[in-house]
């Protein structure tokens, strides 16, 4: 299975400040999602691919495998659009109730590229960003209060534990013969509730233990904590941000403000 976890490395993107990277990622994703057009999407995908290969130096196979998973999803979305979205223009091809039009087709392609571009951006971010460093940077660079940051952090840490536990409880219930029991709606709802209760109970217990463990190590004693790994904004990170914002603005201006992309929709 391909997982979205940090892949140690020494590329420009690996060394980049996580807050700057996160900011750029959000902005880029917002821009990708703001306009639906096949060429616009394709350019963004090309850009994200370029980042992955040149700036993040991700292993090509790992990256492609990851994108392929989402490509299948994008392709099915795109196909659905192409086939079921007979907007106005004459059909290129028709079979019974199915009309494939130029507009439908271009929308489909645009959606495919949008999904690919978004997943590529997300992959580049998560594969090159160490979670611990992201948190340090959010506290030091983005000035997030550390108590808040640790709350999010604890959520991240407990998530896999909760998933495991939910699986165990579901297994335990299967062994009790839950699937053979009354299949009425009411009974089903009650059984779902019985799945939630143990999870809640152990969640509360875990949270309590974590709170005790943290408090008894003086968590929250002061407004600040000692900084072990100072995070600083580097000039080249800001230069990257500036340069790419300008590039993106140009792209956005050309396609959205000037409306060049509509050419392809006809």
Residue 36: count of CB within 10 angstroms of its CB: 17
Would you say 57 or 173 has its CB closer to other proteins?
173
Closest contact distance (angstroms) between CB of 53 and other proteins is 26
Closest contact distance (angstroms) between CB of 238 and other proteins is 25
The dihedral built from the CA positions of residue 83, 85, 86 and 89, taken in this order, carries a sign that is negative
* Strand, helix or coil for residue 91: strand
Closest contact distance (angstroms) between CB of 215 and other proteins is 5
Beta carbons of 57 and 11 less than 8 angstroms apart: yes
Closest contact distance (angstroms) between CB of 69 and other proteins is 14
Would you say 175 or 185 has its CB closer to other proteins?
175
Nearest 10 degrees: Cα torsion 127, 130, 135, 140: -110
Helix (H) or strand (E) holding 93: strand 91-95
Would you say 10 or 95 has its CB closer to other proteins?
10
Beta carbons of 100 and 94 less than 8 angstroms apart: yes
Closest contact distance (angstroms) between CB of 161 and other proteins is 6
* Strand, helix or coil for residue 231: coil
Would you say 24 or 125 has its CB closer to other proteins?
125
Would you say 168 or 246 has its CB closer to other proteins?
168
Applying CB under 8 A, the residues found at the interface with other proteins are 1, 3, 131-132, 135, 150, 153-154, 156-157, 161, 165, 168-169, 171-182, 191, 194, 197-198, 201-202, 205-206, 209-222, 224-228
Give the burial class of 138: count Cβ atoms within 10 A of its Cβ; 0-12 exposed, 13-18 middle, 19 or more buried. buried
Closest contact distance (angstroms) between CB of 12 and other proteins is 23
Would you say 45 or 125 has its CB closer to other proteins?
125
């Amino acid at each position: 299975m391909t997982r979205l976890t940090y892949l140690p490395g020494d590329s420009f993107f690996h060394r980049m400040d996580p807050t700057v990277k996160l900011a750029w990622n959000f902005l880029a994703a917002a821009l990708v999602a703001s306009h639906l057009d096949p060429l616009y999407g394709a350019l963004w995908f090309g850009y994200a691919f370029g980042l992955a290969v040149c700036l993040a130096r991700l292993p090509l196979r790992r990256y492609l495998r990851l994108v392929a998973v989402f490509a299948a999803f994008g392709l099915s979305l795109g196909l659905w659009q192409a086939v079921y979205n007979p907007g106005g223009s004459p059909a290129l091809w028709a079979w019974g109730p199915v009309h494939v039009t130029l507009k439908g087709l271009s929308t489909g392609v645009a959606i495919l590229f949008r999904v690919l571009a978004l997943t590529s951006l997300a992959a580049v971010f998560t594969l090159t960003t160490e979670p611990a460093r992201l948190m340090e940077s959010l506290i030091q660079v983005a000035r997030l209060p550390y108590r808040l940051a640790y709350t999010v952090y604890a959520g991240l840490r407990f998530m896999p534990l909760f998933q495991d536990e939910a699986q165990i409880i579901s297994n335990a219930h299967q062994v009790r013969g839950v699937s053979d029991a009354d299949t009425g709606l009411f009974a089903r709802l009650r059984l779902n509730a019985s799945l939630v209760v143990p999870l809640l109970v152990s969640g509360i217990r875990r949270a309590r233990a974590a709170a005790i463990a943290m408090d008894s190590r003086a968590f929250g004693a002061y407004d600040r904590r000692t900084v072990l790994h100072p995070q600083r904004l580097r000039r080249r990170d800001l230069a990257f941000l500036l340069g790419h914002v300008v590039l993106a603005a140009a792209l956005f201006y050309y396609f959205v403000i000037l409306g060049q992309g509509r050419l392809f929709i006809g």
